[in-house]
Amino acid sequence: MSRAQKTILVTQQLPSSVENRLSKNYVAILNHGDALTQEQILIQAHKADGLLVTVTDTVDSAFIGALPKRVKIIANFGVGYEHIDVEAAGRAGIVVTNTPGVLTEATADLALLLLLGAARRAGEGHVMMRAHAWRGWTPTAMVGHDVSGKRLGIVGLGRIGLAVARRARAFNMEIHYHNRHRRALEDEAGAHYHGTLESLLAVSDFLSLHAALTPQTRGLLNARTLALLPQGAVLVNTARGDLVDDEALVDALKNGRVAAAGLDVFSNEPHIHPSYARLDNAFLLPHLGSATTDTRNAMGFCALDNLDAFFAGEEPPHRVA
C-alpha cells in the first residue's frame, strides 16, 4: 500500500502548512475543533494507520491497549513524551516518535524571557501599566534583581540547556549545571559541573529546569530542595510543571526563599495552582516555549518526516519506542 493510502488521525489542529503536506501525502483525518478525548480518538482509530498526537494527549497503557491493531505508529508533535507510555507502545508493537532539536532555540529564548521577566518584575510592570496605575519613576519603585555576574544553575544540560547557557553567557552569567553524566569539555564551554542536584542548588542564584519528566525527576524541586537554594534565588521552568512541587514553590515565593519564578509550564495544565495567579513574584506564561510560527511548522514537518520514513519502511529519524 502506498503512503497516499495510509490514514493518519490528528488529535489537534496543526499549522496549515503542516496539515497541507499531511493531506497531500496521506488520507488525513484532521480536527479543527477541541482536542479529541481518548474516547473520540478510539472511535475513529479503526480507520487509522497512524496517530499524530500532541503533548496534551494522554497516551497511557489502557488507551494503547484499546487501539486497533491497524495503528502502527504514534507520531508526537513535541519533544517531551512523558504523556506516552512508550513501554506499552513497544509491547503493542507500535512505534513512537518525537520532534527533538527543532524547538531548542525558541524554548531557550523563552527561558531567557522568563529569567529576565522574573528578575526585573516585568509581569508586575505590565499589569500596572495596563491598569493605568503607574504613578511615575521613583528611585525605589519596582526594583528587581541584576542577572549580570550571577550564577545560573541549569538542571539538564541537553540541547535546550546548552542553548540557554549560550544566551546567559551573553548576559555575563556564570554557568553551573547538573546532569547524570558530565558533558564533554567543548560542550561545557567553561560551565561548572555538579555531580549532585544538591551541590548545584547551593550555588544557583538563578535556576533553570531542562530535565525530562520521569518518575525520578517528578517533584525534583520540593520543600527540601528549594530550601537548598541561596536566599532570594530566581527559578525558571520551561520544561515540565511536574518537576516542581507547587505547594512548596508557592510557600517559597511567599516567604521570599525564592524571590521570583518565571513559569511557562505547570502541573495539570491548564488548571494551574490558584496561588500562582495571586503572587506578584510569579511571572507566568501559558506554555509558549515552542510557540513561534517557524518552530511550530518545523515541529509538524519533523513529525511528518517520522511518518514518511516509517511508511517508506525505513527507521524514523526520531524514534523513541
Catalytic residue positions, numbered: 240, 269, 287
Is there a contact between 85 and 76 (Cβ–Cβ < 8 Å)?
no
- Measured CA to CA, the distance from residue 137 to residue 139 in angstroms comes to 7
Nearer to ligand DGY, 84 or 103 (CB): 103
Positions 107 through 166 that interact with ligand DGY (CB under 6 A): none
How many residues in total does the chain contain?
321
Q: Is 290 in the site for ligand DGY (CB under 6 A)?
A: yes
**Long-range contact list for 280-288, CB < 8 A, 24+ apart?**
280/121, 280/123, 280/124, 281/118, 281/121, 281/253, 282/123, 282/253, 283/114, 283/117, 283/118, 283/121, 283/122, 283/123, 284/123, 285/110, 285/113, 285/114, 288/110, 288/264
Q: What DSSP string runs through 283-300?
A: EE-SS-TT-SHHHHHHHH
CB nearer ligand DGY, residue 156 or residue 289? 289
Rounded CA gap, 157 and 180, in Å?
A: 10
CA 254 to chain CA mean position, Å: 25
Say how many residues touch ligand DGY, by CB under 6 A: 7
DSSP category for residue 172: T
- 79 contacts ligand DGY (rule: CB under 6 A): yes
The nearest distance, CB 277 to ligand DGY, in angstroms, is: 21
Minimum distance, C-beta of residue 300 to ligand DGY, in the bound complex (Å): 12
Residue among 78, 144, 153, 300 that touches ligand DGY (CB under 6 A): 78
User: In the complex, what is the shortest distance from the CB of residue 100 to ligand DGY, in angstroms, rounded to a whole number?
Assistant: 9
Rule CB under 6 A: say whether 289 interacts with ligand DGY. Answer: yes
* Binding region for ligand DGY (CB under 6 A) out of 66-74, 76-84, 123-131, 145-153: 76-84
Q: Which stretch binds ligand DGY (CB under 6 A): 19-27, 75-83, 115-123, 205-213?
A: 75-83
Which three cell numbers mark 86? 512508550
Shortest distance, position 264 Cβ to ligand DGY, whole Å? 9
Residues 165, 171, 175, 178, CA torsion sign: negative
- Cβ proximity to ligand DGY: between 76 and 281 the closer is 76
Distance CA 175, CA 180 (A): 17
Query: Does 55 help bind ligand DGY (rule: CB under 6 A)?
Result: yes
Indicate whether 103 belongs to the interface with ligand DGY (CB under 6 A): yes
Contact status: 80 vs ligand DGY (CB under 6 A): yes
| Chain positions contacting ligand DGY, by CB under 6 A | 55, 78-80, 103, 289-290
